[in-house]
Amino acid sequence: MGNTVFSKILRKEIPADIVHEDELCIALRDINPQAPTHLLIIPRQEIAGIDGIEDADAALVGHLFVVARDLARKLGLEESGYRLVINTGADAGQTVFHLHVHLLGGRTLTWPPG
Ligand code: AMP
């Protein structure tokens, strides 16, 4: 049983602003938003990060992107654009070791990231 904050949210042990739920994942509003829209798409399956993905998880990982696309469309971001980010490991600044896709939009995002 996972002990990260996202596992606790998935088990409904702590509250979250959930905007999407299905059999494979949930999506919620980031508690510390870095853009007007900042969602996290989180698989129910406990995978620590990109390096923890197994070949058999390919469909699940693809599903996270399909959900991200649909949420971006629902929020009207498909024209203006948005960014999907997956931080993996210490150098990338990952702080929660349960795989998640950030969906950031609603403002002009700079590149490269810091
Ligand atoms: P990362 O640095 O990629 O691991 O991102 C973790 C993200 O989770 C950060 O953007 C945090 O603001 C966010 N976060 C941490 N705790 C919560 C929470 N309880 N509810 C929503 N988002 C959270």
The predicted pLDDT at position 1 comes to 78
Class of domain 5-105: alpha beta
Q: Name the pairing type of β-strands 82-85 and 101-105.
A: antiparallel
Give the domain ranges of the chain: 5-105
| Ligand 1 atom at shortest distance from the alpha carbon of 95 | 4
Q: Name the pairing type of β-strands 25-29 and 82-85.
A: unpaired
Examine the pLDDT at 114 and tell me if it is beyond 90.
no
Residues 58 and 54: their CA atoms lie apart, in Å, by 7
pLDDT band for position 17 (50/70/90)? very high
The predicted pLDDT at position 3 comes to 94
The amino acid present at 35, given as its one-letter code, is A
Nearest 5°: phi and psi at 35? Answer: -160, 165
Regarding the beta carbon of 86 and ligand 1, being less than 6 Å apart is answered no
Q: What is the pLDDT of residues 57-104, one digit of tens each?
A: 999 999 999 999 999 999 999 999 999 999 999 999 999 999 999 999
Degrees (nearest 5) of the Cα angle 108, 110, 58? Answer: 95
Query: Is 38 part of the annotated catalytic residue set?
Result: no
Mutating to test ligand 1, I would choose from 4, 5, 10, 98 the residue with most ligand atoms within 8 A of its C-beta, which is 5
The predicted pLDDT at position 33 comes to 98
Determine contact, residues 41/103, Cβ cutoff 8 Å.
yes
The predicted pLDDT at position 103 comes to 98
